[in-house]
Amino acid sequence: MKTYKAIIQLTSDDPKVHRSMIRQTGNLLAHLDKTVDVRIICHGASMPFCVAADNPFTDEILGLLNQHITIAACRNMLVANNVGPDDLIAGIEVVPSGIAELVILQQEGWSYVKAG
């Protein structure tokens, strides 16, 4: 059985984009089920998607994490917004650079999807 690898780039602070990306990720899982590994890379303005405080998508994000979706926040984004790793929803990883992570994963054969 073939395993697909998809990275989703999230750079928006728009809740409509966040909702759409969650829905699209669900569609991806529904069609490829256990044959797809998904990593969501958050950088740029997407910090509100990652933080625990006042996040309207916490339940959906935890649901994605429970389905073994990796969500990674860019350390540069966190530093620029004075946000620490402890401020993130539990289970969200931190990578040194979101843009570098995208380049690395694409070189490793991951398919790229832009959210929004």
pLDDT of residue 20: 97
Per-residue pLDDT of the chain (116 residues; tens, 9 = 90+): 779 999 999 999 999 999 999 999 999 999 998 899 999 999 999 999 999 999 999 999 999 999 999 999 999 999 999 999 999 999 999 999 999 999 999 999 999 999 97
pLDDT of residue 1: 73
pLDDT of residue 33: 81
The full length of the chain comes to 116
Is this model's pTM higher than 0.75 or not?
yes
pLDDT of residue 101: 98
Q: Measuring CA to CA, how many Å separate 67 from each of 104, 108, 115?
A: 23, 22, 19
- DSSP collapsed to 3 states, the chain: CCCEEEEEEECCCCHHHHHHHHHHHHHHHHHHHHHEEEEEEECCCCHHHHECCCCCCHHHHHHHHHCCCEEEEEHHHHHHCCCCHHHECCCCEEECCHHHHHHHHHHCCCEEEECC
- Tokens (6 digits) for 105: 């994963």
Q: How many domains does the chain have?
A: 1
pLDDT of residue 34: 80
What is the domain extent for residue 36? 4-114
pLDDT of residue 77: 98
**What CATH number is attached to the domain comprising 99?**
3.40.1260.10
The CA distance from 7 to 101, in Å, is 10
pLDDT of residue 114: 95
